[in-house]
Amino acid sequence: MDKPSCFTAQVDLKLASKLQEDLHNQGFTFTTPPYTIFSAKKKGISCTLYESGKLTVQGKEKDPFIEFYLEPQILQSFHFSHPEAHLDLTPHIGMDEAGKGDFFGPLCIASVFANQEGIQNLLKIGVKDSKRLSDDVILKLAQKIRAQYPYTVIRLFPTKYNELHRKFKNLNRLLAWAHTAALADLSAKTGCQKALVDQFAEKHVMQQALQQKKLTVELEQKTHGEDDLVVAAASILARAAFVEGMQTLSQEYGIEIPKGANAKVIEAGRKLVAKFGADVLEKVAKTHFKTMSEL
């Protein structure tokens, strides 16, 4: 499995002087850039400890340095060198969404089920939070996940999304409804009664949606849910559905439709309106966004 090129961890600042002394003894040289306690370098490794306690390590010699010094001596945890020892191997459903912050394109919600063996396989094939992967890698991984795991994806293109947003009058309630629909479908397909979602609102929003659907699944909601591999797999399927949806819209309207909500997006919006009239926005964009008033 590939490891990230830059390792980050949170360090107890009480250990800062021990860390600095140890690095000095290991032949590191020091500088003090702004907002850092120190930055230390030697051939093949550079480490920076920030005032916040965040530590970054990079360089081609970083792996043995982390495994044999940093984890046992400072971090007292082995998530980097032995991630498989820290997996939650309980069979469960993971859920996440993509596209909610993008003016153009669909809102996509995905749920994935994996058992113990499946979770270990997700680690092996390189699954991680989709925000840490390029869209090209996401599309390739999504193919593997769709081939090997039970899943449900709900993709709401703008026409349907705008209609539902007017009905719910609130994005989080709309998200809760869509997550619950995806969860109900996958729970029925797999018989799984345990789920984890990357928390997107106050917990009661999702609980109410489950009650309305009369869905009795044990649901955990937590921020940074994508740290869980099954949620990470769902984040990859949701992002892939969004990227593929954007490609579909770009082909349909013959114009490269950009992601996000920025100046490029406004420019593309003006081109679309000039070519197809103002009504086109209802079909390609989330019309409750502030970006709409700028157009």
Q: Which pLDDT tens digit goes with each residue over 249-262? A: 999 999 999 998 88
Q: Average of pLDDT values for 151-167? A: 97
pLDDT at 121 over 60: yes
Decide which of 86 and 259 is more confident.
259
Q: Which residue has the higher pLDDT, 152 or 76?
A: 152
As a whole number of Å, the end-to-end CA separation of the chain is: 45
Q: Which domains does the chain have, with CATH numbers?
A: 6-85 (3.30.310.10), 92-247 (3.30.420.10)
Residue 166 has pLDDT above 90, yes or no: yes
Strand residues in the chain grouped as ranges (E): 6-10, 29-31, 36-42, 45-50, 54-58, 92-98, 107-114, 151-156, 194-198, 218-222
DSSP state of 133: S
Q: Between 99 and 225, where is the model more confident?
A: 99
Convert 132-159 to b/e letters by CB count within 10 Å (16 or more is b): ebeeeebbebbebbeeebbbbbbbbbbe
Min mean pLDDT across 10-14, 29-33, 84-88 is at: 84-88
**What mean pLDDT value characterizes the chain?**
92
Encode pLDDT of 30-66 as tens digits. 999 999 999 999 999 999 999 999 999 999 999 899 9
Is the predicted pLDDT of residue 238 greater than 70, yes or no? Answer: yes
| Tally of CB atoms within 10 A around 18 | 11
Q: Report pLDDT for 52.
A: 93
Among candidate residues 5, 199, 233, 240, the one with its CA nearest the CA of residue 120: 233
Contacts of 25 by beta carbon, 8 Å cutoff, 6+ apart: none
Q: How far apart are CA 151 and CA 118, in angstroms?
A: 13
Q: What percent of the chain has pLDDT over 90?
A: 77
pLDDT band at residue 1 under the 50/70/90 scheme:
very low
| pLDDT beyond 90 at 184 | yes
Q: Which two tokens stand for residue 271?
A: 């081109």
Mind giving me the DSSP string for 91-131?
-EEEEEEE-TT-SBS-EEEEEEEE-HHHHHHHHHTT---GG
Region 179-206 average pLDDT: 95
Mean per-residue pLDDT, 116-140: 90
